[in-house]
Structure formats: C-alpha cells, structure tokens
Structure 1
Amino acid sequence: MDTIRTRDDMDDYRLTEALLCGQDESLMVDVLGCPVHPAIVAPFEALRSDAARAGFELKIVSGFRGFDRQLAIWNAKASGRRPLLDSDGQPLCFNELSCEQLLDAILRWSALPGASRHHWGSDIDVYDAAAVASDYSVQLSPQEVNDGGPFAPLHDWLDHQLANGASYGFFRPYAEDRGGIAPERWHLSYAPLSARCESALTPGRLRQVLAEADIELKEPILTHLDELYRRYVAVPKEAYPSAYAPLLAVGEEY
C-alpha cells in the first residue's frame, strides 16, 4: 500500500491509509493497559510524571480504537440499540428524531467510523485514578470533569499546563463548542502526529472507506459528507498549539 511521507520527528512512522482509517493497529503499543501510537509514549510519560508531582495519577481510559469498534458503536446508536445523549449528556428519544437529527445526535459524541482521531493512536481520553475508587467506572461525562466532578482538579491543572506550553505537544481538540462535537475536556491529542494525520485524511479518502462499509445511514452520510466533515471531523488550525498548526499542510495525496 502507498504511504504518506512524513518529516522531522515522525520520519520513523509511515502513515498508511489503513492506519489513518483505523484499519491497521500493527504499530500500536501498550501504555498502562491501553494501545497507543509509539510516538506519544515518551511525551505522555513526561506529562504523567509532572501530574504525579502535582498529586494526580494520570491514566488513559481510551487510546487507539479501530474501525470495526467505531463501526459497531455507530451502528448501535443509529439503530436505537445504544443510548443517544444531548449536549448536556441527557438521554434523547430515538423514535422522535429525524434522520438529520439522528446524525447530529450521534456525531455530537461519537465519530464517524474511519474519521475518529482515536484511529491514529495519537489521541487519548484521560482521568485521575487517584480521585476515585479502583472499581470506579469512568463515564467520560461533563459531570465528571466540570466543577465539582472528581476529575475537575486534574483538568484545572491541565488547563495551566496547556496554557503555559508545558504539555509536551498535547492539546484539547474539543476544548470548546464549535457547533460540532461536544466539548470533551478529557480528550487529549498529540499534535505532532495528529496534525499530520488530519491533513492526510481528506473527505475523498473518507468517502471511499465509508462507501465500502456496512454502515447504518450510509446514504445520508455520503450525501452530506462534506458538511459532516467540516462540522464533525476537521479541527481548525487555531485549536492546535501554534508550533504545530503548520503541520496540517504536510499531508500528500495518494
């Protein structure tokens, strides 16, 4: 398969089309029980060490997520077999949603298969294991990370690290509501890798993958894919740390 050439500190890692769309996990390595891309291991461990000195136990609850897993999540939500949530994390009634509303409800919290940033192994969902009991089930909900939630202190500390350029290349792609994916304070992305992956994953490549997939709502997805890509896939350059935003232009066509 053709590859997308990369540069600088990413030269050792070739980004194939299969990897970009979550169909190749051969590069992934285990960190604290979660698979991630090897490029993020050292920076994550550095961030984790800083967090420990501040009194937090930074752990990953979700790292790499493959295409098939994302497809299963999507199809379950699109067929009413898995709960749908509004922007506040409250349940929606599946039978009351139009096709357009259903697409928006799913995409508010779940990525299109083939377009999840978790496919790249560059993005992780994190929490503070020291703040909860060992048998606590992390929900990745706004209530957990906002004021009063068990993980709010960790994220307040991360706010400071991010603002002061002390996050080793990690940033929050969904730090604010842009009318697409809901804010996810728990979601960190390693910019040196994710910027190149995002640049390479064009709407055309995503369309080809989705056209071949056994995915619910395929027709409206493909009909509106350019708009869905703009709202729910693309992260604007200004969301990236300024040092890494130029990498969004590195990707090359197949």
Structure 2
Amino acid sequence: MLTLEQLYGINSNHTEQIAGERDGVRLQEPVAQAYIAMRDAAADAGITMAIASAFRDFERQRTIWNRKFNGEAPLYNDRGELLDATNLSVGEKIEAILTWSALPGASRHHWGTDFDVYDPTPFSTGERKLELIPAEYQESGPCYELHQWLIKHARDFGFFFPYARYQGGVAAEPWHLSQQHLANQAHAEINVEQLTNVLTKYDVAGREYVIEQLAEIKHRYIDSICNADITSGDIWFG
C-alpha cells in the first residue's frame, strides 16, 4: 500500500533505480525485477528493450502540464494532429492536454508501476529521435518488432497495456506498460477529495477549472483504461 505522498507523486522513496537502465529510471522493486526478467527474455529472443520513462514525480508532471497549458509545448488531438492553442477555450485546452499527458497527481507514472518502453537500437546513432508516437510501434516503425513481442509475452511477466486503444479519454499508447497487481491497488486508492487537496497546494495551470471538473476528469481520463483481465472478454493488447 502506497502512502498518500507516494500515490500522488510527492515522494519517490517507494522506487529504486533499475539495473541496466540509464540513471534516474526508477520503479517499485518487484516491478523492476519483473521488468528485468522480461527484458532478459526479450533479449534471448533477439529483441532489445529499454525504458524511456518510468517513475515521474508530481513536479515533473506539473512542468509538462504547465508548459502545454501556457503554449510552450504543442497540443494534439486524439489523432495526433497539431492544434492551434490560441483558438481553444480553457476546457478544450485541458482536454487536449489530458489526451496525451496526465494531470499532475493523477499520473500512473507516480506509482512506480508503469513505464514507457522502446527499442533503443534504431536510435543508437543519434540520427533518429524517439518521439513516443503510435507510428513508431506500427508496421515498418522502429519499435514494431518489440511491440509484437510484448503483445505475446508481456502478460507472462504481469504487465498489460492500460492504453491499448483510444476509448474517448487518453490516446492509444502502445509504449505504456503497467504492472497489473500493484497498479490496480494504487488506482483503487485515487479519489477526488485527496486529489483536490493535492492540487490546491501547487501552481497547476488551469487549476480552478480542473478542480471544478475533477469528477468527470477522473472518470474519463483516470478510470477509463483497457481491462487487463482476459476473462472479461476484453482484448489485452489492442
């Protein structure tokens, strides 16, 4: 069970550095061990795997959020098309941000259970830059083979894709993996009252609107994930 500070990304002491990953890539210890086992299994199959982003604290998420809200970073619709932020209302702007970036305090990356994975080999020369866009994981994309391997094997290590496909909230993220058991525990603890209390303490752009709409935001962007339980009849990996 995570503390409130860990749950909402204020504290990082529930995570540890992952062996073999670049400095600062952190997960909960059992998640890290499961990831390492999966990475080794992929390597045995000739597939290279690395983590682009794992634990992300509240302040990092707040910086991403505020830059997008203030026009310092681009906004996209659910199809990945660039939007003109100057023509968007506050609500439309926040909806566009939430499609691709979590609300500070509500990111699954706070929990140390979730991470973004990619194949580093096509990017090793520096000529190509990882963008974390769906096209990179589709056929002919640089991370396609890795994604196909994960579709077949990630479940064996306890992982699933919470954003396997677009469901009207967060856009499809074929790079985002979640450790089912621990992430489900954390997800169940998130509530509007606690999140409101966290947001009121920090300078989060558009905070007044966000707090007013927080119940709907939670329903649409936090709770609406792809079901990892294959017995439910849902599709595991999009």
2:59 is the counterpart of 1:68: yes
Determine whether 1:77 maps to 2:65.
Answer: no
- Deviation of 1:46 (Å): 1.1
* 1:153 CA displacement: 1.2
Please give the per-residue CA displacement for 1:202-234, whole angstroms capped at 9, x wherever unaligned: 122111111222111111101110000001111
Alignment map for 1:1-254 (pairs within 5 Å) = 6=1, 15-31=2-18, 32-33=21-22, 34-135=25-126, 136-162=128-154, 165-166=155-156, 168-236=157-225, 239-241=227-229
What is the Cα deviation at residue 29 of structure 1? 1.2
Partner Cα separation in structure 1 for residue 228 and residue 11 of structure 2: 25
Deviations 1:9-49 (A, max 9, x none): xxxxxx10000000001232111121212121111011111
Q: Deviations over 1:152-180 (max 9, x none)?
A: 11101111124xx42x1110000011100
Partner of 2:63: helix, strand, or coil? helix
Q: CA deviation at 1:100?
A: 1.7
Output the CA distance in 2 between the equivalents of 1:78 and 1:241. 35
Q: Report how far residue 98 of structure 1 moved.
A: 1.5
How many angstroms apart in 1 are the aligned matches of 2:212 and 2:159? 34
Q: Distance in 1 between matches of 2:37 and 2:115?
A: 15
Range that drifts further, 217-226 or 83-92: 83-92
Q: What secondary structure does 1:239 align onto?
A: coil
State whether residues 167 and 224 of structure 2, in contact with CA within 8 Å, keep that contact through their aligned partners in structure 1. no
How far apart are residue 86 of structure 1 and its match? 2.0
In 1: Cα distance, 2:112 partner to 2:230 partner = 21
1:129-168 superposed Cα distances (whole Å, 9 cap, x missing partner): 2343342432111121122211011101111124xx42x1
2:78·2:99 contact (CA, 8 Å) conserved in 1? yes
Contact 2:123 2:130 in 1 (8 A): no
Contact 2:169–2:224 at 8 Å: present in 1 too? no
TM-score relative to the length of structure 1: 0.85
How far apart in 2 are the matches of 1:241 and 1:129?
Answer: 30
8 A contact 1:88–1:142 mirrored in 2: no
Measure, in 1, the Cα distance between the counterparts of 2:193 and 2:82: 33
Aligned counterparts of 1:43 and 1:53: Cα–Cα separation in 2: 15
Letter in 2 for 1:110: S
Backbone CA RMSD of aligned residues: 1.6
Residue deviations 1:174-214 (CA, integer Å, cap 9, x gap): 00111000000000001121111001111221111112221
